[in-house]
Structures are given as structure tokens and as C-alpha cells.
Amino acid sequence: MRISKKISSQCGIRFWLLSLAGFLMFLVIWRQLSETDDRFPSTSFQQPVRIPRKGPDDPPILAYWIFCLKGDSKRILRLLKAVYHPRNQYLLHLDASSSDQEIMELALSVHSE
């Protein structure tokens, strides 16, 4: 009889310890799930949208440095037409082997566009 009482009391203690551990795990998981709701705000809250100002004194959005070799002035102009935006800044660079005439033609075509 004594052995059966010991075994039954040990089983009872194990049952309560396992129940307590399970309840604690449930509380920890529930707490973590409730905290994730705080980290991700509801869809009714919207972040303010920043719209860049478009005045002439405002800073550019992008800056380009376009470097080309001798004879590439037509390609520079074509590339510039493809990427041009009025708020961006562009630096066009022809290498030293380019002729003065080619540089002047590029400057005039950019200025006229």
C-alpha cells in the first residue's frame, strides 16, 4: 500500500507541475502575440506622406555625372533626353581628346533643348 500511495502522489505532483508549466507557456505565448499587435499598428493609422517640394530653390532629387569619350556627343544627348527631369542636376563630361567643335555642338544642343 505504501508504494502505491507514493506512486500516486508522485503522479499527482507531476500532473500539477506539467499543468503549471503548460499554463506558463500559454501565458508567455499569449503575451508575445499581444505585443506583436502593438508593434504593427492597425490599418486605420496612416503614416504622413512626404511630397517633395517643387520650387526652383529646392534641392535636386538626383544628380548625374555623364562621362563620354570622343565622338559620343550624340549619345550623350540621347541619354540626357531619356533621363532628364527638371529638378535633377547633370554634369556632362567629354574627355580631353574631344574637339572644341564637338564640345560646342553639345553645349548648344543641350542649351537649345
Going from N- to C-terminal start, the domains of the chain cover 1-41, 63-112
Give yes or no for residue 70 having a pLDDT over 80.
yes
User: According to the model, what pLDDT value does residue 112 have?
Assistant: 84
Structure-model confidence comparison of residues 59 and 66, the more confident one:
66
Structure-model confidence comparison of residues 1 and 12, the more confident one:
12
Average pLDDT over residues 35-55: 64
- The rounded distance, in Å, linking the Cα atoms of 108 and 106 is 5
Containing 89, the helix (H) or strand (E) segment is: strand 89-94
Average pLDDT over residues 57-65: 79
- The rounded distance, in Å, linking the Cα atoms of 39 and 91 is 45
Q: In sequence order, what are the residues at sequence separation of 6 or more whose Cβ sits closer than 8 angstroms to the Cβ of residue 87?
A: 52, 54, 58, 60, 61
Q: In sequence order, what are the residues at sequence separation of 6 or more whose Cβ sits closer than 8 angstroms to the Cβ of residue 54?
A: 87
The packing angle between helices 100-112 and 73-83, to 10°, is: 20
What's the chain's length in residues? 113
Long-range (24+ apart) CB contacts under 8 A made by 45-54 are 52/87, 54/87
User: According to the model, what pLDDT value does residue 6 have?
Assistant: 57
